[in-house]
Structure 1
Amino acid sequence: MSTTDSSVVVIGGGQAGLATAQVARSLGLDPLVLEAADRTAGSWPHYYDSLTLFSPARRSALPGMAFPGDPDGYPTRDEVIAYLHHYAAHLDADIRTGHRVHQVTAHADGFEIVTSQGAAFTAPLVISATGEFSRPHRPALPGLDDFTGTVLHSSDYRSPHPFAGRRVLIVGGGNSAVQIGIELAGHARVTLATRHPLRFMPQRILGRDIHLWTQRTGLDTATWARPLLTGGKGTPVMDTGTYRAAFASGNPDRRPLFTRLHADQVEWDDGTREKIDVVLLATGYRPTLAHLGALAGLDDQGWPRHRRGISTVQPGLGYVGLEWQRSFASATLRGVGADARYVLTRLRRQTRSLDRTRPAAAER
């Protein structure tokens, strides 16, 4: 098995990996990108057909290339896929598709990266940019395992047509849950079940998109602001007013999270029961990091141990594309570039410091 050397290996060729490769080039590094799929579009081809970004095109670009079209428009899924393909085609980096990383091993001078196809690579730095959208999270909801209807994750949803005339229960209250729920309501009877009331936030303030204000005010990266922006009282849903109006119509509607599921029924918190055909889990994802093994140092929730994208377990290892890695935007198109620059800059300093503390080869 031959081995190829590189200054940094980037695992994953989606938005996080491509942004990392571009930043690496700007820092004078020679990145090698390893992507398991046969194309560089990450998880985007697997999302539902009508998905639309909740950040405008001008704030959804990766480093070095503007997003085409109306800068104040909100790109669709297919427009994002086309953009990522174009970005990769014009990226001055070695991108190898069809290379699924099987194992990363740490050595004294760096890492060895072995793919499932038997190829091997070495590098002093490794960035895991697989994001967190390839492993759907299925929470342990009471009675879910015994539910006799259809159980889907939002990652399985493509269009509303297969659900015509059915009673659909969506678990979750984020942007995807709301978008899917409103689309389904044109074909089915839909309820969103959430632990907290839906939190609609204005998409535009004083005529400018809210993402401009979160960046300019520092809310994006303010640790204290995280409970305001995610979790706590529910995930904020960016809304121009159309989402709120749709829920005011009564279909879809929102109810507190149910008590439990019974066969083909849901029991609500007031004790009433209702027949349900489909439970759709819009409950997020977890990172896929099996290739790192013990190097990831996963916590009890399956998240890698890191500080702002820098591994606290293994020197030379970093992450790009994790939710709230450094900011509200970390897992989005507009956030991965800044995170990649932060991580790469600090990892280079870290490894240089380690080099100064290692004994010379003759002294070993």
Structure 2
Amino acid sequence: MENTLDCIVIGGGQAGLASAYYLKKWGLQYLILEATEQAAGSWPKHYDSLTLFSPARYSSLPGLRFPGDPNHYPTKDEVISYFNEYTKYHKFNVHTGEKVTEVRKNGKEFVIVTAKGNIFYSRAVISATGAFSKPNVPVIEGSERFNGKMIHSSQYRNINDYKNQRVVVVGGGNSAIQIAYELAQISNVSIATRKPISFIPQRFLGKDIHFWLKITGVDTLPYGKKFSLNTSVMDMGVYKEAILNKKPDRKPMFTNYTGEGVMWSDGKEEKIDSVIYATGYKPNVNYLTTLNDAIDQLGNPLQNKGISTTMDGVYYVGLSGQRSFSSATIRGVGADAKYVIKRLKKSIL
């Protein structure tokens, strides 16, 4: 078809933008389709106090350095501003407000349909929506009876609605600790985890941990999903001390909900006002269900290092553990995009 592009990128967050960089650099005709009104991925939806866990010097996408002091830890607003500047700087071809609802294959071409009813055609598709846009909320007995507030961390914004509440944050990763720590300043907060929280020093011998990950090569080793989902918390010492001082405290995961609260593992029932799940995300690739065998029954992409193992022309960038420990991060997504698009280019040209 005359208007067929080489590639359509679904999602305009860090993975989609890194993909666009290499697609443009290597002369491929592409288009990014982004569901929201700006190419910033899930970042605008995150809680207000979120900061990157890596300093600015290790938080750049390919082709543009993250601005400001290279040793500072960028805020949510700084990241969004950087993405917007990145898009303008490279003059990427982006259509915002175009949520992809369906991807079909017609011969060697892909047909991409959006919620607005617009149709696009391409020789290849990069799914770049997989890491942080579909909340994972575990099924726990009795949750339907719970009368309190129950949300995922993706819905949490700030402490304003939680003053003097009894709050439980479920999860032992960086986001769980950040949220619980700030809520503990104005509320009675517990972190519920299935195992003790593991802490990693943010700085070692005067250097941020990402310096050591980079020079040792650990950050880009092909560890895969098992290691990428490690829940160790990067800490300057603040969070570990807070847990020791029980602000917030840590409790073994509760066994079930009651009408007014939860039942803890020791058999004690407690009234709870709010539960916040900081339990990560599932791959968000529902628009691929119309492609036979592109994803499994649980909605997980069938892929190896970002290349579909079941559907020629389908690629992924930004999945957790896709090729390394850092695949789903700003610092790691560029390397994966480069790897994927080299193979994409070879297959269509």
TM-score by length of 1: 0.91
Within 5 Å, which residues of 2 pair with 1:201-212? 201-212=200-211
Match of 2:280 among 279, 284, 289: 284
Question: How many residues end up aligned between the 2 structures?
Answer: 348
Residues 225, 349 of structure 1: CA spacing in aligned structure 2 closer, same or farther, 3 A cutoff?
A: closer
Match of 1:341 among 335, 338, 343: 338
Structure 1 residue identity aligned to 2:245: S
**3-state SS, counterpart of residue 200 of structure 2:** strand
| CA–CA distance in structure 1, aligned partners of residues 283 and 227 of structure 2 | 23
| CA–CA distance in structure 2, aligned partners of residues 55 and 269 of structure 1 | 35
| CA–CA distance in structure 2, aligned partners of residues 3 and 27 of structure 1 | 21
Does residue 30 (structure 1) correspond to residue 29 (structure 2)? The answer is: yes
Structure 1 residue identity aligned to 2:235: D
Does residue 320 (structure 1) correspond to residue 288 (structure 2)? The answer is: no
Which protein has the larger Cα radius of gyration, Structure 1 or Structure 2? Answer: 1
Q: Corresponding residue for 2:7?
A: 8
> What is the CA distance between 1:77 and its match in structure 2?
0.3
Residues 10, 227 of structure 1: CA spacing in aligned structure 2 closer, same or farther, 3 A cutoff?
A: closer
| CA–CA distance in structure 1, aligned partners of residues 232 and 290 of structure 2 | 34
Q: Corresponding residue for 1:136?
A: 135
| CA–CA distance in structure 2, aligned partners of residues 227 and 35 of structure 1 | 29
Counting aligned pairs with the same residue, the percent is 49
Residues 147, 3 of structure 1: CA spacing in aligned structure 2 closer, same or farther, 3 A cutoff?
A: farther
Most deviating of 306-315 and 26-35: 26-35
Deviation per CA, 1:293-345: give whole Å up to 9, x if none: 24363234421111111111211110111111111211111111111011111
Match of 1:299 among 296, 300, 313: 296
Q: Corresponding residue for 2:17?
A: 18
Deviation per CA, 1:251-285: give whole Å up to 9, x if none: 10111111211111221111112111111111111
Q: Corresponding residue for 1:161?
A: 160
Deviation per CA, 1:198-253: give whole Å up to 9, x if none: 1110112222221222233232243458655634xxx1111111111111111101
Structure 2 residue identity aligned to 1:55: S
Structure 2 residue identity aligned to 1:137: N
> What is the CA distance between 1:118 and its match in structure 2?
2.7
**3-state SS, counterpart of residue 111 of structure 1:** strand
Q: Which runs of 4+ in 1 moved over 3 A?
A: 221-231
Query: Structure 2 stretches of 5 or more lacking a match?
Result: none
Q: Corresponding residue for 1:72?
A: 71
Within 5 Å, which residues of 2 pair with 1:54-133? 54-133=53-132
| CA–CA distance in structure 1, aligned partners of residues 215 and 104 of structure 2 | 41
Query: Structure 1 stretches of 5 or more lacking a match?
Result: 353-364
| CA–CA distance in structure 1, aligned partners of residues 111 and 2 of structure 2 | 9
> What is the CA distance between 1:116 and its match in structure 2?
2.3
Structure 1 residue identity aligned to 2:326: A
**Aligned alpha-carbon RMSD (Å):** 1.8
TM-score by length of 2: 0.94
Match of 1:310 among 286, 307, 310: 307
